[in-house]
Amino acid sequence: MADNYKKRYKKEKNNVSEDFSVPSDRLEGRNPVMEALNSGRTIDKIYVQAGERSGSVLKIVSICRDKKIPVIETEKAKLDKMSSTGAHQGVIAAVAAKEYVEVEDILAIAEEKGEKPFIVICDEINDPHNLGSILRTSNAAGVHGVIIPKRNSVGLTATVAKSSAGAVEFTPVAKVTNLARTIDMLKERNIWVAGADMSGENDIYSQDFSGGIAIVIGSEGFGISRLILEKCDFLVKIPMLGEITSLNASVAGALMIYEVVRTRNKHI
């Protein structure tokens, strides 16, 4: 068992962005984490100390695998930095500041309002301040819900909640295992999927966003991943007229989101 231990969970040390200054969205220690898992509490991811092979840790990893909760092997020094109690016992869980919803719940909200679905998809957004800002803009613009992936993405942490200025309480967020399959499902429901990318044929001001629409916002520095780009029905670009050739993810998202609002208002 010990030799195969590392195969039982995925290393993601280089893909995780964490704010170590806000410990209120974390559970520390093996028993508290186990209790949270058994109670069904929403957990974004679990950090396990590298090389830790005790039975209780393996049980936690096994439960996470069954529940499809990402487990990240990390060094003790990082866990010590994340810890506010100094008694993490090699296990820290990042818990959600708000419960997630299902994608179907988001679609039901649009239907109840008699509106065409307006969804924002965040493709591997890792900065909690960016996600919080996107949630705030989404709420202000009347977006029915936001979709994020389970892996390689920040979840609804305390920092995200604070950055959203309260919008996390009012903006439904669905966390999905497979973003590509989710996009396929949305397209089957007659929802157009538009990606923000500089390779787009049209700019955001000439594109018609009047139908059911899902806006895809790419990650910081890398943009939309290749597979998700291929899944988009069309790509649109934001005109860049100065020396800077890119925008912060939340700023680009805000421009896209409000262009949908402007287009829809023209058709009312």
Structure confidence by residue, pLDDT tens digits, 202-215:
889 988 888 999 99
Does the pLDDT value for residue 219 go beyond 70?
yes
Exposure string for 28-46, b = 16+ CB within 10 A, e = fewer:
bbbebbbebbeeeeebbbb
Exposure string for 182-207, b = 16+ CB within 10 A, e = fewer:
bbeebbeeebbbbbbbeebeeebeeb
Q: What CATH class is the domain 103-266?
A: alpha beta
Does the pLDDT value for residue 146 go beyond 80?
yes
pLDDT in tens, 162-216: 899 989 999 999 999 999 999 999 999 999 999 988 888 888 998 888 899 999 9
Highest mean pLDDT of the ranges 33-37, 121-125, 149-153:
121-125
In the chain, domain spans: 5-95, 103-266
In the block, tokens 């890119």 appear at 246
Task: Look at 42 and 171; give whichever has higher pLDDT.
Answer: 171
In the three-class reduction of DSSP (H, G, I as helix; E, B as strand; rest coil), residue 152 is classed as: coil
> Could you tell me which of 48, 55, 44, 42 has the C-alpha nearest to residue 9?
48
pLDDT in tens, 247-262: 889 999 999 999 999 9
CATH architecture type of domain 5-95: 2-Layer Sandwich (3.30)
**The pLDDT value given to residue 16:** 39
Average pLDDT value for residue range 121-143: 95
pTM of the model: 0.78
**The pLDDT value given to residue 52:** 81
